[in-house]
Amino acid sequence: MFLLVSCMSPGDPIDPQLPSLDLPETAHAACENGPDRIVDLPEGFGDYEREDFTRYTEVVAPNGRAIPIFAQDEISDTQILRSRNLLRFYLQDVPGSTWGEDKSDVADAMADNAAVLVLVNGHHTGRNEPNVPAQPLYDEETPVVGHAWFMDNDFEFRDAAFEEIFHLVHDTGIGTYLPGARPDYQADLDAEARLAMEDGRWPATDDRDATQWIEELEREGSLAQEYIASVIDSYYGLWGPWDEADGGMWGIYIAKDRDEVAALDPAGLGLVEDFLSPTLTVEEPVDAEFTGTLELSFDAETPYTHKTRYMAAVRMLGGGDVVGNELDNVFVSGPGDNAFTGGDGVDTVVYCSPREEYTVEGDTVTHPDSGTDKLDGVEVLHFLDGAVER
């Protein structure tokens, strides 16, 4: 239960001068990071081919170099898309924040330090890491919105993407064992992790396994990474549905949700908000097989909404309906029939083709290849060639 560490390990990196492959993009900001930018493994990555990686995508740093993402064959395109978007989220600027006002140097440091994310088949056992210098994230710890693992809050397949991808940003961009762009922030994170150990915020249990795990982290110099990852997971609602004990991260961390983080670990709350946005502003892809209604507003009777309450944008990869929350929601229309209901904010539906390809009649939008959408409470339609207010 305490097998939580899978940080990127020092080793011989791939070429730190790796340029972007210039994967195809569109002119539409909300569409340019879509599934079309996932490609078969390019030539020149023999070490990754030998470890059975079959697909590739990337996030490009401001210096023009790539932060690569490799995936094995059992990883879905939706999982790849979600992982790439979460990495993009962590690297988005957060105006007014202490350490996240301009993250271009963090992204550049990641590229210069040869940061690599690998999406691996199966379940992490502690003995099945691929033999490449990269941060692993496993299939069975990457539930996507709309999939049963996500909707049913199945903690046998708990969401480790927030944790593991932040480890990559932390180690190679902020800087731990590699020279990063935020040494002062890292010093704050490390100092607070040690204070949290002293006052019982982390670990919040005297369980022997947890205690031994913390001791192992201290020996390997990973206290800051694992402490702030615990805070992040609870801050974004991942442990809100967990009802087996108090706290988050299997009870290791004192707080279960954002309200508890604010009340029980205000220093941890501040450290998260010093670098990250309180709202998930990149599109969360919705599983193509999803056919129900996705609720984004928090409802205590619908436990998965502990997670969706912080989502501002979703990308439909198939059919299904979405009901928005109080944020300014962005709904990226999918290839199936969708219904979009806006919430209290200014809500936008994005279409990734020019306006002339669609028929708009009242609250209905139809495309000959991607079905019919029903709209309610949506203020803006954003087509490839421009936005239209309703």
pLDDT at 151 over 50: yes
Look at 315 and 27; give whichever has higher pLDDT: 315
pLDDT at residue 22, rounded to an integer? 65
Assign 2 a pLDDT band (cuts: 50, 70, 90): very low
Token pair for residue 223? 């206290």
pLDDT at 27 over 60: no
The DSSP bridge partners found for residue 19 are 65
The separation between CA 329 and the C-alpha centre of its own chain, rounded to angstroms, equals: 17
pLDDT at residue 16, rounded to an integer? 42
Can you tell me the distance from the alpha carbon of 317 to that of 288, in angstroms, rounded to the nearest whole number?
5
Q: Contact, 16 vs 112, CB < 8 A?
A: yes
pLDDT at residue 50, rounded to an integer? 95
pLDDT at residue 32, rounded to an integer? 80
Q: Contact, 309 vs 237, CB < 8 A?
A: yes
3-state secondary structure of 210: helix
Place of tokens 């007014």: 96
Assign 385 a pLDDT band (cuts: 50, 70, 90): confident
Assign 30 a pLDDT band (cuts: 50, 70, 90): confident
Can you tell me the distance from the alpha carbon of 48 to that of 55, in angstroms, rounded to the nearest whole number?
10
% of the chain surpassing 90 pLDDT: 85
pLDDT at residue 169, rounded to an integer? 98
Q: What is the DSSP string of 219-242?
A: HHT-HHHHHHHHHHHHHTTTTTT-
pLDDT at 17 over 50: no
Q: Name 155's Cβ contacts closer than 8 Å, sequence gap at least 6.
A: 242
Q: What are the tens digits of pLDDT across the range 89-141?
A: 999 999 999 999 999 999 999 999 999 999 999 999 888 899 999 999 999 99
pLDDT at residue 388, rounded to an integer? 92
Average pLDDT, integer, range 303-309 = 98
CB neighbourhood size of 174 (10 A): 27
pLDDT at 9 over 70: no
pTM summary value: 0.94
pLDDT at 331 over 80: yes
Write the burial class of residue 33 (CB in 10 Å: 0-12 exposed, 13-18 middle, 19+ buried). Answer: buried
pLDDT at 267 over 80: yes
pLDDT at 53 over 50: yes
pLDDT at residue 23, rounded to an integer? 61
pLDDT at residue 26, rounded to an integer? 58
Burial 213-229 (b: 16+ CB within 10 A, else e): bbeebeeeebbbbbbbb
pLDDT at 4 over 60: no
**Where along the chain do its domains lie?**
1-180, 182-278, 283-389
Average pLDDT, integer, range 186-207 = 96
Across all residues in the chain, what is the average pLDDT?
Answer: 92
pLDDT at residue 6, rounded to an integer? 45
Task: Please give the backbone phi and psi of residue 14, each rounded to the nearest 5 degrees, phi first.
Answer: -70, 170
% of the chain surpassing 70 pLDDT: 93
- Lowest mean pLDDT segment, chosen from 82-86, 127-131, 240-244: 127-131
* Entry field: residues in the chain: 390
Q: Contact, 176 vs 225, CB < 8 A?
A: yes
